[in-house]
Structure 1
Amino acid sequence: MISLDDAFRKFRSRLELNENEKKNAIARHTEVREHINSKFKVDRDFLTGSYARYTKTKPLKDVDIFFELADSERGYRDKAPSEVIDAFYTALVEKYGHEKVSKQSRSLNVDFGVDVDSDDNTHYRILSVDVIPAFRAGDDYEIPDTASGAWIKTNPEKHATKATAANKAYSGEWKGIVRMLKYWNNNPKHGEKPVKPSFLLEVMALDCLHGGWGGRFDYEFQGLFATLATRIHDTWPDPAGLGPPVSDSMDAARKARAKTLLEAAAREVTLAINLARQGKNGQALDAWRTLFGPKFPKS
C-alpha cells in the first residue's frame, strides 16, 4: 500500500501539466492570441494568472491571456469598461460563436466544450481561456471592471514574483500545496466553490503558510484549513497593492459558508491523521480522497 507521503507527492504530480496537456494549452492560447491580434492593435500579449504562476489546478480551465493594447486603441480607455469588453466579445464570437463566449466583469471566457469524466480527466485538453484587455499605466496596467464601472490597476508580474518568493521560502512545496488546496475547492461535493475566486485562496496562502516547510503534508493541511477558516472574514488586499481587495468578491453570506466548509475540512484532516496513527492506512487514504477528490491516489 502506498505511504501517505508518497500519496501526497503522487497527488501533487497528478495536478501538474504533462506534455500532452502543455501542447494543447499552447495550441489553444496561441489560436486565441493570433485571433485577437488580428482584430486589435496589441503591443504585447502574455500568459498570466495561476497558469503562469504554476498554481493552476486540474481540470485545467480559465487560462489567463493578458493583452496590453497599443496607444492607437486608447480610445477605449476613455470609455466605460463595458465598451472594450463588448468589442472583445464581438471579436471572439466571430471565431467561436455566441454559445462559447461569455462576458465576465474583467475578462471574456472562451469555453472549448471539453467534457470532464468522473476522475477529472479531460483527455489532455484544456477547458477554457480567459481573455483580459489591458492598457499600460506606468509600471502597472489598467483593466476594465464592469462590476464597478471603473478601470482598475493591476500587475500580474508582481503577483508572480510573490508566488515565486513564497515557493522558495517553503522549500519548493508552496505551489504544490496551493494546487492541492484549489483542487479541494473544486470538489463537486461542495456544490458551488467554497472560496471564490480561487485566487483568494492563493492570496491567503501567501500569509497563512508561514514558518517554512515542516515536512508533513498532513500536518500542513490540518493547520492550513483551520487558519483559513479563522481568517476567511479578514480583508485580503491585492498582493500587488493596486486593485480592490481580492476578498471583496465574497459577501458575508459566502464567507460564512466558506468558514463552515473550511472548518469541516479541518475536522476531516484530523480524522484522516487519527486513522493513520491507528495503523488504518487504507481508511486514512480513503478519507484524504474523500476530502480532496478523485485525483488523490489510494495506491
Structure 2
Amino acid sequence: MLTIDEAFRKFKSRLELNDKEQKNASERHSEIREFVRSKFSIDNDFLTGSYARYTKTKPLKDIDIFFVMKESEKHYRSKSAGVVLDDYEKALIDKYGRAAVRRQSRSINVDFGVEVKEDDKTDYKILSIDVVPVFACGEDYEIPDDDTGKWIKTNPKKHAEKATNAHQAYGNEWKGLVRMVKYWNNNPKHGEKPVKPSFMIEVMALQCLYGGWGGQFDRELQSFFATLADRIGEIWPDPAELGPPISNSMDPQRVASAQRALRQAAEEAGQAIHLVRQGKNGEALKAWRALLGPMFPLS
C-alpha cells in the first residue's frame, strides 16, 4: 500500500504535463498561432498564464496565448476594448465554428470538443485555448477588458518571476501545492468553482505559503486550505501591480461560499491526517481522494 507521502508525490506527478500532453498542446497552440497571424498583423506571440508558469492543473484547458499586435493595428487601441474582441471572435468562429468559440471578458476561448473521461482522463489532449489580443506598452502589455470597455495593463513576466521565486523559496514544492488546490477547485462536486478566477489561488499562495516547506504534503495542504479560508475575503492585488485586483470577481456572496468550501476542505484534511495517526492508512488515502479528486491515487 502507498504511504501518504508516496501517494502525494504520485498525485503531484499526475498533475504535471507528460510528453503526450506537451505534444498535443504544442500542436494546438501552433495551429491557433498560425491562423491568428494570417488574420491580424502580429508582431509576436507567446504562451503565458498558468501554463507557462507550470501552475496549470488538469484537465488541461484555457492555455493563454498573448498576440502582440503591430502598430498597423493600433486603431483598435482608440476604440472600446470590445471591438478587438469582436473581430477576433468573428475570425475564430470562421475557423472553428460558433459552438467551439466563447467570448470572455479579456479573451476568446476556443474549445476543441475533447471529452473528459473517468478519472479526469482526456487521452492526453488539451481542452481549450484562450486567445488574448494585446499591445506592447513599454515593458508591460495592454489587454482588452470587455467589462469596462477599457484597456488594462498587465505583465505576465512579472507574474512568472514571482511564481519562480516562491517555488524556490518553498523547497521547489510551491507549484505542486498550487496545482493540487487548483485541481480541488475544479472538482465538479462544487458546482461552480469556489475560488474564481483560479489564478487567485496562485496569487494568494504568494503570501499564504510562507516559512518554507515543512516536509509533509498532508499538513501543508491542511494549513493552506485553512489560511485560504481565513483570507479569501481580503483584497488581492495584481502581483504585477498594474491591473485591477484579482479578487474583484469575488463578491460577498461568492466569498462566503468559498470560505465554507475551503473550511470544509481544511476539516476533511484534518480528518485524513487523524486516520493516519490511527494506523488507518487505506482509509486516509480514500479520504484524500474524496477531498482532492479522482487523480489522487489509492495504489
TM-score class, shorter-chain normalisation, is: over 0.9
Corresponding residue number in structure 2 for 1:93: 93
Q: Distance in 2 between matches of 1:69 and 1:106?
A: 15
1:69 aligns with 2:69: yes
Q: Distance in 1 between matches of 2:143 and 2:31?
A: 22
Task: Answer yes or no: is 1:188 the counterpart of 2:221.
Answer: no
What letter matches 1:98 in structure 2?
R
Distance 2:222 2:125 in 1: 33
* Equivalent residue number for residue 37 of structure 1: 37
Task: Give the corresponding residue for 2:269.
Answer: 269
Find the residue that maps to 2:133 and give its secondary structure: strand
Matches within 5 A, 1:76-115: 76-115=76-115
Report runs of 4+ in structure 1 exceeding 6 Å deviation. Answer: none
1:282 aligns to what?
Answer: 282
- Residue 29 of structure 1 and its aligned partner are, at CA, apart by 0.3
Structure 1, unaligned runs of 5 or more: none
Query: Match for residue 254 of structure 1?
Result: 254
TM-score, length-normalised on structure 1? 0.99
Q: How many angstroms does 1:61 deviate by? A: 0.2
CA distance in 2, matches of 1:223, 1:155: 30
Report what 2:206 is aligned to: 206
Identity %: 65
2:125 match: 125
- The correspondence of residues 141-180 of structure 1 with structure 2, limited to 5 A, is 141-180=141-180
Distance 1:50 1:134 in 2: 18
How far apart, CA to CA, are the structure 2 residues paired with 1:187 and 1:83?
34
- The whole-number CA distance in structure 2 between the counterparts of 1:279 and 1:187 is 28
- Separation in 1, partners of 2:267, 2:145: 38
RMSD across aligned C-alpha pairs, in angstroms?
0.5
Match in the other structure for 2:25: 25
Q: Distance in 2 between matches of 1:148 and 1:260?
A: 30
Q: Deviations over 1:5-47 (max 9, x none)?
A: 0000000000011111000000000000000000011111000
1:134 is matched with 134
Give the superposition deviation at 1:250: 1.3
Determine the C-alpha separation between the residues in 1 that align with 2:172 and 2:270. Answer: 25
The DSSP-based 3-state class of the residue aligned with 2:120 is: coil
Deviation sequence 1:80-128 (CA, Å, 0-9, x none): 0010000101111111011100110000000000000121000000000
Cα distance in 1 between the residues matched to 2:90 and 2:31: 16
Q: Count the aligned residue pairs.
A: 299
In 1, distance between residues paired with 2:95 and 2:245?
A: 34
SS state at 2:243 partner: coil
